[in-house]
Protein backbone atom coordinates (compact mmCIF):
# COMPACT_ATOMS: atom_id res chain seq x y z
CA UNK A 1 0.00 0.00 0.00
CA UNK A 2 1.40 3.39 -0.97
CA UNK A 3 2.00 5.97 1.74
CA UNK A 4 1.37 9.67 1.25
CA UNK A 5 2.73 12.15 3.78
CA UNK A 6 3.99 15.71 4.20
CA UNK A 7 7.38 16.83 5.48
CA UNK A 8 8.35 20.39 6.42
CA UNK A 9 11.69 22.14 6.92
CA UNK A 10 12.50 25.75 7.74
CA UNK A 11 15.32 28.19 7.13
CA UNK A 12 16.06 31.68 8.43
CA UNK A 13 17.73 34.67 6.85
CA UNK A 14 21.05 36.09 7.98
CA UNK A 15 19.20 38.87 9.83
CA UNK A 16 17.41 36.48 12.18
CA UNK A 17 18.61 37.16 15.76
CA UNK A 18 20.02 33.67 16.30
CA UNK A 19 21.75 33.74 12.92
CA UNK A 20 23.31 37.13 13.72
CA UNK A 21 24.90 35.42 16.72
CA UNK A 22 26.11 32.43 14.70
CA UNK A 23 27.71 34.71 12.12
CA UNK A 24 29.42 36.89 14.72
CA UNK A 25 30.75 33.79 16.49
CA UNK A 26 32.17 32.42 13.26
CA UNK A 27 33.54 35.81 12.23
CA UNK A 28 35.52 35.78 15.47
CA UNK A 29 36.65 32.23 14.73
CA UNK A 30 37.79 33.22 11.23
CA UNK A 31 39.77 36.18 12.53
CA UNK A 32 41.54 34.14 15.21
CA UNK A 33 42.36 31.13 13.01
CA UNK A 34 43.60 33.41 10.23
CA UNK A 35 46.31 34.70 12.58
CA UNK A 36 46.80 31.62 14.75
CA UNK A 37 45.57 28.31 13.24
CA UNK A 38 46.02 26.56 16.60
CA UNK A 39 43.56 28.90 18.36
CA UNK A 40 41.09 27.19 20.67
CA UNK A 41 37.77 28.93 20.30
CA UNK A 42 34.34 28.54 21.86
CA UNK A 43 32.78 31.93 21.13
CA UNK A 44 29.19 32.48 22.20
CA UNK A 45 27.17 35.57 21.35
CA UNK A 46 23.95 37.04 22.73
CA UNK A 47 22.03 39.88 21.04
CA UNK A 48 19.10 41.94 22.24
CA UNK A 49 17.80 45.43 21.56
CA UNK A 50 20.91 47.59 21.17
CA UNK A 51 23.20 45.01 22.78
CA UNK A 52 25.79 42.42 21.74
CA UNK A 53 27.49 40.24 24.37
CA UNK A 54 30.50 38.12 23.42
CA UNK A 55 31.32 35.40 25.92
CA UNK A 56 32.89 31.95 25.99
CA UNK A 57 36.42 30.55 26.16
CA UNK A 58 39.27 31.50 23.84
CA UNK A 59 42.97 30.65 23.93
CA UNK A 60 44.93 32.25 21.11
CA UNK A 61 48.03 34.19 20.13
CA UNK A 62 45.99 36.29 17.71
CA UNK A 63 45.29 39.94 18.35
CA UNK A 64 41.87 41.11 17.14
CA UNK A 65 39.50 43.96 17.86
CA UNK A 66 36.30 42.15 18.80
CA UNK A 67 34.19 45.31 18.79
CA UNK A 68 35.21 46.21 15.24
CA UNK A 69 34.57 42.66 14.05
CA UNK A 70 31.08 42.74 15.52
CA UNK A 71 30.14 46.09 14.04
CA UNK A 72 31.42 45.19 10.59
CA UNK A 73 29.49 41.92 10.52
CA UNK A 74 26.25 43.51 11.71
CA UNK A 75 26.55 46.18 9.01
CA UNK A 76 27.19 43.49 6.38
CA UNK A 77 24.03 41.67 7.45
CA UNK A 78 22.06 44.86 6.95
CA UNK A 79 21.43 46.45 10.34
CA UNK A 80 22.70 49.94 9.50
CA UNK A 81 19.62 51.96 10.38
CA UNK A 82 18.52 52.70 13.94
CA UNK A 83 14.90 52.35 12.81
CA UNK A 84 15.42 48.59 13.14
CA UNK A 85 16.06 48.99 16.87
CA UNK A 86 19.49 47.47 16.33
CA UNK A 87 22.28 49.24 14.48
CA UNK A 88 25.90 48.36 13.76
CA UNK A 89 27.22 51.78 14.73
CA UNK A 90 25.20 52.39 17.87
CA UNK A 91 24.72 49.03 19.60
CA UNK A 92 26.68 48.33 22.78
CA UNK A 93 29.26 45.55 22.48
CA UNK A 94 30.33 43.81 25.68
CA UNK A 95 33.20 41.32 25.79
CA UNK A 96 33.50 38.75 28.60
CA UNK A 97 35.91 35.98 27.60
CA UNK A 98 37.89 33.35 29.51
CA UNK A 99 40.66 31.02 28.38
CA UNK A 100 39.89 27.40 27.58
CA UNK A 101 39.75 25.16 30.64
CA UNK A 102 43.05 23.28 31.09
CA UNK A 103 41.03 20.17 31.97
CA UNK A 104 39.46 20.26 28.52
CA UNK A 105 42.62 21.36 26.72
CA UNK A 106 44.67 18.43 27.98
CA UNK A 107 42.57 16.07 25.85
CA UNK A 108 43.97 17.75 22.75
CA UNK A 109 47.28 19.19 24.00
CA UNK A 110 49.49 16.13 23.97
CA UNK A 111 53.05 15.16 23.28
CA UNK A 112 51.84 14.74 19.71
CA UNK A 113 52.72 18.37 19.14
CA UNK A 114 56.37 17.37 19.17
CA UNK A 115 55.84 14.51 16.71
CA UNK A 116 56.09 14.72 12.95
CA UNK A 117 53.40 16.92 11.43
CA UNK A 118 50.31 14.95 10.31
CA UNK A 119 51.91 11.62 11.17
CA UNK A 120 49.88 8.54 12.07
CA UNK A 121 51.26 8.76 15.60
CA UNK A 122 50.06 12.34 15.91
CA UNK A 123 46.59 11.49 14.64
CA UNK A 124 46.33 8.74 17.26
CA UNK A 125 47.75 10.90 20.04
CA UNK A 126 45.48 13.95 19.62
CA UNK A 127 42.13 13.19 21.20
CA UNK A 128 38.70 14.62 20.58
CA UNK A 129 38.10 18.02 22.16
CA UNK A 130 34.90 16.77 23.77
CA UNK A 131 32.66 13.76 24.02
CA UNK A 132 29.51 13.61 21.94
CA UNK A 133 27.69 12.16 18.98
CA UNK A 134 27.29 13.52 15.47
CA UNK A 135 25.18 12.64 12.44
CA UNK A 136 25.68 13.20 8.74
CA UNK A 137 23.16 12.59 5.99
CA UNK A 138 22.73 12.55 2.22
CA UNK A 139 19.96 11.53 -0.15
CA UNK A 140 19.30 11.70 -3.88
CA UNK A 141 16.35 14.11 -3.76
CA UNK A 142 18.39 17.06 -5.06
CA UNK A 143 21.56 17.50 -7.17
CA UNK A 144 23.44 18.57 -4.02
CA UNK A 145 22.24 15.33 -2.33
CA UNK A 146 20.18 17.11 0.33
CA UNK A 147 16.55 16.62 1.39
CA UNK A 148 14.28 18.70 -0.83
CA UNK A 149 12.40 20.60 1.94
CA UNK A 150 15.50 22.14 3.57
CA UNK A 151 17.10 22.74 0.17
CA UNK A 152 14.11 24.79 -0.99
CA UNK A 153 13.77 26.62 2.32
CA UNK A 154 17.43 27.72 2.13
CA UNK A 155 17.09 28.79 -1.50
CA UNK A 156 14.11 30.98 -0.64
CA UNK A 157 15.92 32.51 2.35
CA UNK A 158 18.99 33.33 0.27
CA UNK A 159 16.85 34.85 -2.45
CA UNK A 160 14.92 36.87 0.13
CA UNK A 161 18.19 38.41 1.34
CA UNK A 162 19.43 38.94 -2.22
CA UNK A 163 16.45 41.02 -3.38
CA UNK A 164 16.72 43.11 -0.22
CA UNK A 165 20.40 43.83 -0.76
CA UNK A 166 20.12 44.55 -4.49
CA UNK A 167 17.25 46.95 -3.88
CA UNK A 168 14.77 44.97 -5.97
CA UNK A 169 12.48 44.91 -2.91
CA UNK A 170 13.88 47.83 -0.89
CA UNK A 171 11.16 47.74 1.75
CA UNK A 172 12.35 44.37 3.08
CA UNK A 173 14.40 44.30 6.26
CA UNK A 174 16.99 41.75 7.41
CA UNK A 175 14.96 39.40 9.62
CA UNK A 176 13.04 36.56 8.03
CA UNK A 177 12.05 32.90 8.10
CA UNK A 178 11.01 30.50 5.38
CA UNK A 179 9.29 27.12 5.50
CA UNK A 180 8.54 24.58 2.80
CA UNK A 181 6.23 21.58 3.06
CA UNK A 182 6.81 18.85 0.47
CA UNK A 183 4.36 16.06 -0.34
CA UNK A 184 5.88 12.56 -0.50
CA UNK A 185 4.60 9.35 -2.02
CA UNK A 186 6.38 6.16 -0.97
CA UNK A 187 9.42 8.14 0.17
CA UNK A 188 9.74 10.25 -3.00
CA UNK A 189 8.84 13.96 -3.27
CA UNK A 190 5.82 14.46 -5.55
CA UNK A 191 4.58 18.00 -4.88
CA UNK A 192 4.98 21.35 -3.14
CA UNK A 193 2.21 21.56 -0.56
CA UNK A 194 2.94 24.84 1.27
CA UNK A 195 5.40 27.73 1.10
CA UNK A 196 5.58 30.04 4.12
CA UNK A 197 7.58 33.27 4.21
CA UNK A 198 7.70 35.60 7.20
CA UNK A 199 9.76 38.65 6.31
CA UNK A 200 10.46 41.84 8.19
CA UNK A 201 9.39 44.90 6.24
CA UNK A 202 8.91 48.64 6.38
CA UNK A 203 5.57 49.91 7.80
CA UNK A 204 4.57 51.21 4.37
CA UNK A 205 5.51 50.63 0.74
CA UNK A 206 5.63 53.91 -1.12
CA UNK A 207 2.15 55.39 -0.81
CA UNK A 208 0.67 52.09 0.39
CA UNK A 209 0.08 52.42 4.14
CA UNK A 210 -2.98 50.30 4.94
CA UNK A 211 -1.72 47.00 6.39
CA UNK A 212 -3.88 44.67 4.31
CA UNK A 213 -2.70 46.41 1.16
CA UNK A 214 0.92 46.30 2.32
CA UNK A 215 0.72 42.56 2.89
CA UNK A 216 -0.97 42.00 -0.47
CA UNK A 217 1.85 43.90 -2.18
CA UNK A 218 4.50 41.91 -0.30
CA UNK A 219 2.85 38.62 -1.24
CA UNK A 220 2.65 39.61 -4.90
CA UNK A 221 6.28 40.76 -4.96
CA UNK A 222 7.59 37.66 -3.19
CA UNK A 223 5.88 35.40 -5.68
CA UNK A 224 7.46 37.10 -8.69
CA UNK A 225 10.84 38.19 -7.28
CA UNK A 226 11.61 35.35 -4.86
CA UNK A 227 9.60 32.17 -5.32
CA UNK A 228 9.42 31.94 -9.11
CA UNK A 229 13.20 32.48 -9.58
CA UNK A 230 13.96 29.90 -6.87
CA UNK A 231 12.00 27.20 -8.70
CA UNK A 232 13.55 27.79 -12.12
CA UNK A 233 14.95 24.45 -13.27
CA UNK A 234 13.35 22.47 -10.43
CA UNK A 235 11.54 19.27 -11.37
CA UNK A 236 8.78 19.97 -8.85
CA UNK A 237 6.97 23.30 -9.15
CA UNK A 238 4.33 25.06 -7.07
CA UNK A 239 0.89 24.59 -8.64
CA UNK A 240 -2.65 25.80 -8.06
CA UNK A 241 -2.90 23.49 -5.05
CA UNK A 242 0.19 24.96 -3.35
CA UNK A 243 -0.57 27.26 -0.41
CA UNK A 244 1.45 30.45 -0.13
CA UNK A 245 1.47 32.00 3.34
CA UNK A 246 3.15 35.39 3.80
CA UNK A 247 3.43 37.11 7.20
CA UNK A 248 0.45 35.20 8.64
CA UNK A 249 0.10 37.52 11.67
CA UNK A 250 -0.70 40.43 9.34
CA UNK A 251 2.56 42.34 9.61
CA UNK A 252 6.22 41.92 10.58
CA UNK A 253 7.68 45.38 11.18
CA UNK A 254 9.47 44.88 14.51
CA UNK A 255 12.09 42.20 14.04
CA UNK A 256 15.74 41.36 14.52
CA UNK A 257 17.16 41.66 18.03
CA UNK A 258 14.50 44.24 18.87
CA UNK A 259 11.79 41.65 18.30
CA UNK A 260 13.59 38.65 19.83
CA UNK A 261 16.87 38.05 21.60
CA UNK A 262 19.34 35.79 19.81
CA UNK A 263 21.83 33.14 20.88
CA UNK A 264 24.65 31.28 19.13
CA UNK A 265 23.78 27.68 18.38
CA UNK A 266 20.00 27.86 18.58
CA UNK A 267 19.35 26.94 14.93
CA UNK A 268 21.02 23.53 14.73
CA UNK A 269 18.27 22.00 12.60
CA UNK A 270 18.43 24.89 10.13
CA UNK A 271 22.20 24.39 10.02
CA UNK A 272 21.90 20.72 9.09
CA UNK A 273 19.13 18.73 7.39
CA UNK A 274 15.91 20.46 8.39
CA UNK A 275 14.87 17.66 10.73
CA UNK A 276 14.94 15.07 7.93
CA UNK A 277 17.86 13.31 9.59
CA UNK A 278 18.74 12.85 13.24
CA UNK A 279 20.94 15.35 15.07
CA UNK A 280 23.48 14.75 17.83
CA UNK A 281 22.59 18.02 19.59
CA UNK A 282 25.87 19.91 19.22
CA UNK A 283 25.96 23.32 17.55
CA UNK A 284 28.67 24.34 15.08
CA UNK A 285 29.23 28.09 15.14
CA UNK A 286 31.99 29.66 17.20
CA UNK A 287 33.80 26.35 17.68
CA UNK A 288 37.29 25.66 16.37
CA UNK A 289 37.83 22.36 14.51
CA UNK A 290 39.17 20.45 17.54
CA UNK A 291 35.55 20.43 18.70
CA UNK A 292 34.13 17.27 17.14
CA UNK A 293 30.62 18.74 17.30
CA UNK A 294 31.75 20.62 14.23
CA UNK A 295 34.57 18.73 12.51
CA UNK A 296 33.12 15.24 12.94
CA UNK A 297 29.68 16.40 11.76
CA UNK A 298 31.40 17.59 8.60
CA UNK A 299 33.11 14.21 8.30
CA UNK A 300 29.79 12.40 8.71
CA UNK A 301 28.28 14.43 5.87
CA UNK A 302 31.33 13.70 3.69
CA UNK A 303 31.00 9.95 4.25
CA UNK A 304 27.24 9.87 3.69
CA UNK A 305 27.43 12.06 0.58
CA UNK A 306 30.12 9.92 -1.04
CA UNK A 307 28.12 6.75 -0.40
CA UNK A 308 25.05 8.24 -2.09
CA UNK A 309 27.13 9.82 -4.87
CA UNK A 310 28.63 6.38 -5.55
CA UNK A 311 25.13 5.02 -6.10
CA UNK A 312 25.47 2.63 -3.17
CA UNK A 313 22.30 3.95 -1.49
CA UNK A 314 19.47 6.40 -2.12
CA UNK A 315 19.67 7.64 1.47
CA UNK A 316 22.50 7.35 3.96
CA UNK A 317 22.91 8.47 7.56
CA UNK A 318 26.22 8.16 9.40
CA UNK A 319 26.68 8.48 13.16
CA UNK A 320 29.97 8.93 14.99
CA UNK A 321 30.57 9.20 18.71
CA UNK A 322 33.69 10.28 20.60
CA UNK A 323 35.18 10.33 24.09
CA UNK A 324 37.05 13.45 25.17
CA UNK A 325 40.80 12.93 24.83
CA UNK A 326 40.40 9.77 22.72
CA UNK A 327 41.29 9.93 19.02
CA UNK A 328 39.36 7.06 17.48
CA UNK A 329 35.55 7.09 17.43
CA UNK A 330 33.82 5.13 20.16
CA UNK A 331 31.21 4.00 17.64
CA UNK A 332 30.38 4.27 13.95
CA UNK A 333 27.00 3.53 12.39
CA UNK A 334 26.01 3.48 8.73
CA UNK A 335 22.24 3.35 8.04
CA UNK A 336 20.71 3.34 4.55
CA UNK A 337 17.04 2.77 5.51
CA UNK A 338 16.68 -0.20 3.20
CA UNK A 339 17.88 1.73 0.14
CA UNK A 340 21.42 0.34 0.04
CA UNK A 341 22.66 -1.73 -2.88
CA UNK A 342 24.85 -3.67 -0.42
CA UNK A 343 24.46 -4.47 3.26
CA UNK A 344 25.04 -1.64 5.71
CA UNK A 345 27.70 -3.79 7.40
CA UNK A 346 29.61 -3.90 4.12
CA UNK A 347 29.34 -0.12 3.81
CA UNK A 348 30.69 0.22 7.34
CA UNK A 349 33.72 -1.83 6.35
CA UNK A 350 34.33 0.49 3.40
CA UNK A 351 34.03 3.54 5.64
CA UNK A 352 36.55 2.14 8.11
CA UNK A 353 38.98 1.40 5.29
CA UNK A 354 38.71 4.59 3.23
CA UNK A 355 37.77 7.51 5.52
CA UNK A 356 39.82 9.32 8.17
CA UNK A 357 37.67 9.79 11.27
CA UNK A 358 40.22 10.72 13.95
CA UNK A 359 39.81 14.42 14.86
CA UNK A 360 43.36 15.43 13.88
CA UNK A 361 43.00 13.49 10.65
CA UNK A 362 39.68 15.18 9.82
CA UNK A 363 41.24 18.59 10.48
CA UNK A 364 44.17 17.75 8.20
CA UNK A 365 42.03 16.19 5.44
CA UNK A 366 39.70 19.20 5.24
CA UNK A 367 42.38 21.79 6.13
CA UNK A 368 39.97 23.15 8.73
CA UNK A 369 42.47 25.21 10.75
CA UNK A 370 44.06 26.99 7.79
CA UNK A 371 41.17 27.68 5.44
CA UNK A 372 40.36 31.07 7.03
CA UNK A 373 43.91 32.27 6.35
CA UNK A 374 44.01 30.80 2.85
CA UNK A 375 40.68 32.38 1.93
CA UNK A 376 41.45 35.90 3.03
CA UNK A 377 40.26 35.64 6.62
CA UNK A 378 36.78 34.47 5.68
CA UNK A 379 35.50 30.91 5.71
CA UNK A 380 33.35 29.76 8.63
CA UNK A 381 31.19 32.90 8.73
CA UNK A 382 29.92 32.05 5.25
CA UNK A 383 28.41 28.73 6.37
CA UNK A 384 26.95 30.31 9.52
CA UNK A 385 23.84 31.29 7.53
CA UNK A 386 21.85 29.24 5.00
CA UNK A 387 23.21 25.88 6.08
CA UNK A 388 26.52 24.08 6.44
CA UNK A 389 25.63 21.35 3.94
CA UNK A 390 24.57 21.21 0.31
CA UNK A 391 26.11 24.62 -0.39
CA UNK A 392 26.63 24.83 -4.14
CA UNK A 393 27.58 28.50 -3.76
CA UNK A 394 30.66 27.72 -1.64
CA UNK A 395 33.70 25.49 -2.10
CA UNK A 396 33.45 23.30 1.02
CA UNK A 397 35.81 20.34 1.46
CA UNK A 398 33.22 18.14 3.15
CA UNK A 399 30.89 18.57 0.15
CA UNK A 400 33.33 16.93 -2.26
CA UNK A 401 32.43 13.54 -3.76
CA UNK A 402 36.00 12.59 -4.59
CA UNK A 403 35.72 9.17 -2.95
CA UNK A 404 32.63 8.00 -4.79
CA UNK A 405 34.53 6.16 -7.53
CA UNK A 406 36.90 4.69 -4.95
CA UNK A 407 33.98 3.26 -3.00
CA UNK A 408 32.45 1.69 -6.10
CA UNK A 409 35.77 0.09 -7.01
CA UNK A 410 36.38 -1.07 -3.44
CA UNK A 411 33.21 -3.17 -3.42
CA UNK A 412 35.10 -5.82 -5.34
CA UNK A 413 37.98 -5.88 -2.89
CA UNK A 414 38.21 -7.79 0.40
CA UNK A 415 37.93 -5.51 3.43
CA UNK A 416 39.06 -6.22 6.95
CA UNK A 417 38.88 -3.46 9.54
CA UNK A 418 37.72 -2.85 13.05
CA UNK A 419 37.01 0.11 15.29
CA UNK A 420 40.32 0.56 17.09
In the structure, what pLDDT confidence band is assigned to residue 100 with cuts at 50, 70 and 90? low
Q: Please state, rounded to an integer, the average pLDDT across all residues of the chain.
A: 92
Residue 416 has pLDDT above 60, yes or no: no
Residue 418 has pLDDT above 60, yes or no: no
In the structure, what pLDDT confidence band is assigned to residue 111 with cuts at 50, 70 and 90? very low
In the structure, what pLDDT confidence band is assigned to residue 419 with cuts at 50, 70 and 90? very low
* Crossing angle for the helix pair 292-309 and 359-366, to the nearest 10 degrees: 70
Mean pLDDT of all residues in 104-110: 60
135-164 per-position pLDDT tens digit: 999 999 999 999 999 999 999 999 999 999
Residue 24 has pLDDT above 80, yes or no: yes
What does the pLDDT read at residue 187?
92
Residue 250, CA atoms < 13 Å, CB-side half-sphere: 3
Residue 246 has pLDDT above 60, yes or no: yes
324-369 per-position pLDDT tens digit: 888 899 999 999 999 999 999 999 999 999 999 999 999 999 999 9
150-201 per-position pLDDT tens digit: 999 999 999 999 999 999 999 999 999 999 999 999 999 999 999 999 999 9
What does the pLDDT read at residue 44?
98
What does the pLDDT read at residue 79?
96
Q: What is the pTM of this model?
A: 0.93
Amino acid sequence: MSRHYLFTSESVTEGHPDKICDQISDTILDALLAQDPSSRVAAEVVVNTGLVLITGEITTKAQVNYVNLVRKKIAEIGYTDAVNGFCANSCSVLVALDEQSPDIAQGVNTAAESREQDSEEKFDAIGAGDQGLMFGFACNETPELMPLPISLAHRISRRLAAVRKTGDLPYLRPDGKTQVTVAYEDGQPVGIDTILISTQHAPSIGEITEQAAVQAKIKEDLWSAVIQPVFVGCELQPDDQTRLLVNPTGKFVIGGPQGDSGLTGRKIIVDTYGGYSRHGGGAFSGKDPTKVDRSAAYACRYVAKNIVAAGLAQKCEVQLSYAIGVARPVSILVETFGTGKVDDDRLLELVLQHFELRPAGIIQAFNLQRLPSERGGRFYQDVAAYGHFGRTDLDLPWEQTDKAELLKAALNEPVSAAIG
